Amino acid sequence: MRDGIHLNTEIYVPENMQKPLPFLITRTPYGLRHDKNGFHISLSTSYRELVEDGYIFVFQDIRGRFKSEGKFVMLRPPHKKDDPNAIDEGTDTFDTISWLLKNIPGNNGRAGILGISYGGWLTVMAIIEPHPAVRAVSPQASPANMFIGDDFLHNGAFRLSPSFGYVALMETSNIVTPFRFDIYDTFEWYLELGALSNVNKKYFHGKMPTWNNFMSHPTYDEYWKRQQVSQYLKKVSVPTLNVAGWWDAEDFYGPMKIYETLEKYDTDNKNYLVVGPWRHGGWARSSGKKLGKIDFGSNTGVYFRKNVQSRWFAYFLKDKGNLNLPEALAFQTGINEWKSYDKWPPEKNIIEQKLYLHSNRKLSFNPPGENEKYEFDSYISDPACPVPYTKRPIKGFWQGAQALWKVEDQRFVHLRPDVLSWKTDVLKKDITISGRIIAHLFASSSGTDCDWVVKLIDVYSEDYPEKEMRGYQLMIADEVLRAKFRNSFENPEPLTPGKITEFVIDLNSRNHCFRKGHRIMVQIQSSWFPLIDRNPQKFVNIPEAKEKDYQKATQRIFHSKQFPSYLKLPVVKEIE
């Protein structure tokens, strides 16, 4: 690299190469894993379709990880332009490509870059000031904003188990080092941990830089803002294929935000999006036919790898074939079909409709009237007995945790006294939504802070052909908001106990058909543990909270004519 640091790199050149080939580069902080023959594992798994097409594959440990020299910095921000000697992940990628072009014979002078999750983020860093040889990239499940919607926080609510597990994994040493829990069910382990301040007292002892940053930056300050990706994306200089999964539990917000940001500058139609029915990275790791118990009727992962990803890189790096891809290709769950769009979210044939909460736990597209039996529903939220985010026992997040929790049957919490549910009558026709879902809650709390968790659920029919799926509650969209950030992520404000307040929660976008005979359900709760840390329900700096600060709170959700809580849905018009 330009500062003299050496990065561990493996290069795979096809035997009996008939003509010059492009480089296909993947950089990672997770090490270069190998099969029993000593080859990088991706060549026989997630990249096998690309191997058949023929590329010079390059795999690299990033700075400070595994066999690479230098110091590792988690999500190292781009360097300041007034320092020509500074380094970042973009400069390391640029220097790597320059070295490859000069030293590896048989290349055609072109390079592509792809990666998933952290590798997706590294791909985005490479296109801020791309090397001239880079002709196509595919950032897949890349984070974009760690405070608002990706791995570490969502709308100011701290993702405890992912963040704790990831910090231990990445900063205990320069190799992947999972934390060793001494209780099998980490729900119980995190509950016994108590306040967040106990993490450093008992386990990290101030030695984990990223955890220390989490604790010292509890609001959306310059630490988080500098990491925010979209501020650096001011042009579409390289054809970019963004990839996301509808049930990605780590980074769904990121790829959608990156696509949305690049769209503002995409005058030459170089910005593309693919969203499928996948978990985090599922398009690369499986056939994509099923996710847990949910069957999508076809091998969606194979389809993506063969008909989208392979075609993408062959077209731009080898002048092979026709691209023939829509700008946005989004799998529509429910009917299980790929749909093409000229942009995402679509605007054609979309009507915004409000789905209202009513008395007697009913949902309807009709607003509440004067004759509502009750003005609100209520529950007690107790930090000492939080709602689990997945079925117990819960494994450690980086020790095989329930990766499929987003498609679990939500009946495991349905009818808990601290989880409220509303549902429609049996649907008399299909209802399809394509686009962004926004929840508007009129609610109050007896505390001065709290969390609101909202889930949009598809309740399967009671005559569904597969008996075990009858009444299944499939979560379609979900999100959390920490109430003190309702007006500003920079300047939190306490709640006024008992005051009815409108909370607006963005559940992101979806493409789903609620089938005739099913029901639509909304669930609301105030804890989601240990995915989200416990809110003391008291306006305090949570990293400094004491055990005595955690208190019960009475939560009320209003659904009256004056205070109508609803979800705004992008409903697709029926074609007459």
Strand runs (DSSP E) across 62-197, as ranges? 107-116, 134-140, 153-154, 157-158
pLDDT tens per residue, range 510-525? 999 999 999 999 999 9
Q: Do residues 537 and 551 touch, judged by C-beta distance below 8 A?
A: yes
User: What pLDDT is stored for residue 398 in this prediction?
Assistant: 58
Q: Which two tokens stand for residue 254?
A: 């990121």
Backbone φ, ψ for residue 108 (5° rounding):
-95, 10
Q: What pLDDT does 256 receive? A: 98
CATH number of 9-140+233-273: 3.40.50.1820
Nearest to 104 by CA among 7, 38, 21, 34: 21
**Which CATH architecture group holds 350-572?**
Sandwich (2.60)
> Kindly report the CA angle at 122 between 119 and 125, in degrees rounded to 5?
160
Q: Among 118, 145, 436, 395, which Cα is nearest to 280's?
A: 118
Strand, coil or helix: what is 107? Answer: strand
* Residue 156: predicted pLDDT: 98
How far apart (Å, rounded) are the C-alpha atoms in residues 174 and 65?
5
Handedness of CA 318, 324, 328, 332 (dihedral sign): negative
- Asked whether 259 and 273 are in contact (CB, 8 A), the reply is yes
Maximum pairwise Cα distance, the chain: 79
Measured in Å, how far apart are the chain's first and last C-alpha atoms? 61
Buried residues in 307-335 as b, exposed as e (16+ CB within 10 A):
ebbbbbbbbbbbeeeeeebbbbbbbbbbe
User: Which residue type is seen at 78?
Assistant: P
The residue count of the chain comes to: 576
Q: Which helix (H) or strand (E) holds 522?
A: strand 519-525
Handedness of CA 399, 405, 410, 415 (dihedral sign): positive
Please state whether beta strands 21-28 and 9-12 pair in parallel, antiparallel, or not at all (unpaired).
Answer: unpaired
> Could you state, in order of their start, the residue ranges of all structural domains in the chain?
9-140+233-273, 350-572
**Euclidean distance between CA atoms 197 and 189, whole angstroms:** 15
**3-class state of residue 307 by DSSP:** helix
DSSP 8-class letter at 534: P
Task: Point out the residues of the chain with pLDDT beneath 50.
Answer: 399-400
Using an 8 Å Cβ cutoff, are 310 and 49 in contact? yes
Tokens of 268: 């030459």
CB neighbours of 132 closer than 8 A, spacing ≥ 6? Answer: none
11-57 residue pLDDT tens: 999 998 999 999 999 999 999 999 999 999 999 999 999 999 999 99
pLDDT value for 203: 97
- Residue 480 has what pLDDT? 98
Q: pTM for the whole thing?
A: 0.97
Contact 176, 399 (CB under 8 A): no
